[in-house]
Structure 1
Amino acid sequence: MPIRILDETDYPGVQALHRAVGWPARSLAGWRWLHANPARAEIDAPAGWVIDTGDGELAGHVGNLIQRFQHRGRTLYGATGFSIIVLPSARGQGQRIIRTFHTQKGLFARWTFNANVVSQPLYARHGMIPWPEQTHALKLGWPVAPLPLIAGKVLKTLHRLAPDTVSRLDEQLMNDRLGRAVRLALPQGVSLLEDIADASPYGAFWTALASEDRFLSDRSPATLRWRLADPDQTQAPLLLAVERDGAMVGYAMAQMAKGNTLEPPVLEIVDLEALAEHAEAVPLLMTALKGAAKQLGAAKLRLPVVSPLQLARLGAFADSARREGGWGHCHVIFEHEAAHEAWSPTPWDGDQGFCLRPVPLTQGARERRPLVAASSHSKA
């Protein structure tokens, strides 16, 4: 079976692949949005590859998300592999399509930060290494509603015992806070980030962050605006900012998601950054995020990609977190060694920001698309 570059006529076939393995099927508009990735267009990279059966059907797919990086005044490009699907009918082709992804040229690295237990051994066979060395198998979670989490575990157990019966259940563990525009109670010093224009405080924050001696994925206002334009979101992501003396010094982005019909909703941290001299902004943002998770109807707050720098900045939050994961979900192959020490990835650098399953909402709830109506500060 030939492997060829994905084109826009393949999107219905890619949707069918996702449905075949029980993954969320992104809309055609969503695939067109991904295809319009500005960083991909700058280097004319493929949007992905497919395994073509030759009879009008697809038997496999790997997406290719190009990201722009800044380091010491240089612009480099890297790629995240996502939605890697190979049907049983294409057995043996999985290694070929992964090899196609990780041998593309002109990139400082290729990686996946979202490998599952079954797929993760494949990456080592292609020269990809578990990375970061200390935290590649770590995810952190902070429960805020224990009962739905327990109920989710019970449903998973029942699914293993009676998969046909449980799979016919409707969406479980929903609650009446989901989809509502909530007035968040935020701690002093934290506010909603609403202005992401080029000349906004966020723009100045990105300029300051990019000037640090770090290897950073592009979080410029233009890139953030493109990320927020994902048409498949049922709720806009939550954006928070910390200011000191009138200047923005830290920010967080989090997204409500629901892994499948049997899991409770989770507030997933997509990005968490602060200027080097204001590392104290990270615990403050975590306090706000944990409070927001409960108010928005999530069962827990989760950080799905962790770096050693983040672990240190989390402080007491790292000590109180539940260690999740346990397998090497982060793998990378480097072409430029500079990133080994200078790159401290967050979920922003992986596919979590656009491969999370959105919380399914009714049409009425979708019309209340903003995640929060406004904010008020708590006395804490």
Structure 2
Amino acid sequence: MRPFQLTDVPDVNRLHQQVGWPVRSVEGWRWLASNPARQAEAPLGWVSADADGRAAAFVGNFIQRFWLKEHAVQGAGGFSIIVPPAQRGAAPRLIRTLMRQPDCSFRYTLNANPKAARLYPRLGLTPCPERGHEVKLAWIIDPVTCGWGRFLRNAVERSPGLAGHLGERLMSRHAAQVGGRSLHDLPLPAGIHWISDLSDVSSLSTLWSELRGQGRLIADRSPAMLRWRMADPELTVAPLLLGCEQDGRLIGYAQAVMSKGSPIEPPALEIIDLIALDHAQHAVAALMKAMLDLAPRLGAARVRLQVVNGALLDALGPLARGARREGGWGHCHAQFDPELEAAGRDWRPTPYDGDYAFCLRPLPIGGRIASARTERDAA
């Protein structure tokens, strides 16, 4: 067992390809390494090496800064845990290595598959949050295209060799064009607006101060952190940021990104964050409705919210009850240091707190937005 290094990228990417997960470029790994919350000594992950010293199993290590009142708290999220059959037994060792790293007050994953979900309780992690740890919500926008996606997935499961012959399927015209248009031209409901100002003196900065001031354990949503997230070089379409206003003040915001899980899945609008001030929980449903209205114009066949919590389910109300329930196993697990256990029970994670923002497969529409930005700056 040793820390991941950039020289491991080809082997780690090969592991990702073997399980059908998107790979990151060296530039993308360097961006992850520039995470403002990451201490210099914290690895990007760990690998189990084979006899030749090559990475044969992997777990990623996403360091995230949380706040509890005025105190900064470091959390470590595990991501992209890949252990091939030849490395059987490496998974517990990799996860324990992540859990034992210094200077982190809690360890968690918000994206466990059914097999891993059975492993985590044996390693000391418990399902968290109590309400919602097993729930993923999906709103079907285009049932015909989603039906074709299920048909293709079933066909590939029966005949895995088909995957290499099918190529990229179910890409709608709107999704193929979304990278070349200004999304901010799309109309929004009253009270909802596009957020483009991520400066330290923006209304989003004020909202962050108010969210932090509510006193619960909360992931860092400062403008500086959001600017770093928006700079992911793997993105092909800029994330959507929507705000909800009341009396001229921002009371909630939502973040989403267009994704296409695999070549045989239809495009989806993935909700990365959905949060509002405690006294303005009506903003959650308003922001969600706006995203659902935008989805067909973006070419999304479905909208997904892959991490929820009890308060979020309550705030969504009828929207949550009308969504399709996916998952069904405990995909969210956490272990808190003793002094943080009480705060951990009131943690309200969204996909933002986990690895979804950088582990989703981007829309396959050609150039990346970071490259386009570099070209414009050079011109």
Q: Flag whether TM exceeds 0.5 (same fold).
A: yes
Which range is displaced more, 354-363 or 63-72? 354-363
The whole-number CA distance in structure 2 between the counterparts of 1:167 and 1:185 is 40
| Distance in structure 2 (CA, Å) of the matches to 1:33 and 1:201 | 26
Q: Is the 8 Å Cα contact of residues 169 and 265 (structure 2) preserved in structure 1?
A: yes
TM superposition shift of 1:7: 2.1
* Distance (whole Å) between structure 2 residues aligned to residue 323 and residue 241 of structure 1: 26
Aligned to 1:250, what secondary structure does the other structure show? strand
Deviation of the 1:221 alpha carbon: 0.3
Q: Give the aligned partner of residue 337 of structure 1.
A: 341
Q: Distance in 2 between matches of 1:29 and 1:365?
A: 13
* Greater Cα shift, 226-235 or 99-108: 99-108
Residue of structure 2 equivalent to 1:375: none
**Cα gap change, 1:74 to 1:365, in 2 (>3 Å):** closer
Q: Which residue of 1 aligns with 2:90?
A: 93
Using the alignment, how far apart are the partners of 2:74 and 2:48 within structure 1? Answer: 25
Is 1:6 the counterpart of 2:4? The answer is yes
Identity, % of aligned positions: 47
Q: 2:377 — aligned with what?
A: none
Q: Does 1:109 align with 2:106?
A: yes
Match of 1:348 among 345, 349, 352: 352
TM-score in terms of structure 1 length: 0.92
Residues in 2 aligned to 1:354 and 1:323: alpha-carbon distance in whole angstroms: 23
Q: Structure 2 counterpart of 1:87, which letter?
A: P
Tell me the SS of whatever aligns to 2:144.
Answer: helix
Instruction: Work out whether residues 77 and 106 of structure 1, in 8 Å CA contact, stay in contact via their aligned partners in 2.
Output: yes
* 1:74-133 alpha-carbon deviations (Å, 9 max, x no partner): 111101100111222222212111111122232221011001122221112201111112
User: What secondary structure is seen at the aligned counterpart in 1 of 2:216?
Assistant: coil
> 2-side partners of 1:349 and 1:315: how far apart?
22
Of 272, 287, 308, 2:274 maps to 272
Q: Distance in 2 between matches of 1:240 and 1:221?
A: 14
Q: Normalising to structure 2: TM-score of the pair?
A: 0.92
1:137 maps to amino acid: E
In 2, Cα distance between the equivalents of 1:11 and 1:260? 21
Counterpart CA distance in 2 for 1:293 and 1:269 is: 11
Partner of 1:308: 310
CA–CA distance in structure 2, aligned partners of residues 364 and 38 of structure 1: 22
Task: Give structure 1 stretches of 5+ with no counterpart.
Answer: 370-380
Q: Say if 2:170 and 2:264, in contact at 8 Å, map to a contact too.
A: yes
* Partner Cα separation in structure 1 for residue 6 and residue 167 of structure 2: 32
1:103 and 1:364 mapped to 2: Cα distance? Answer: 36
Distance 2:154 2:87 in 1: 31
- Find the aligned partners of 1:242 and 1:146 in 2 and give their Cα distance: 29
* Root mean square deviation of aligned Cα: 1.8
Give the direction of change, closer, same or farther, for the CA distance of 1:19–1:248 in structure 2 (3 Å limit): same
CA distance in 2, matches of 1:57, 1:258: 30
Q: Which residue of 2 aligns with 1:212?
A: 214
62-71 or 5-14: bigger deviation: 5-14
- Letter of the aligned partner of 1:21 in structure 2? V
- Matched length: 366
Task: Please say if 1:136 is aligned against 2:124.
Answer: no
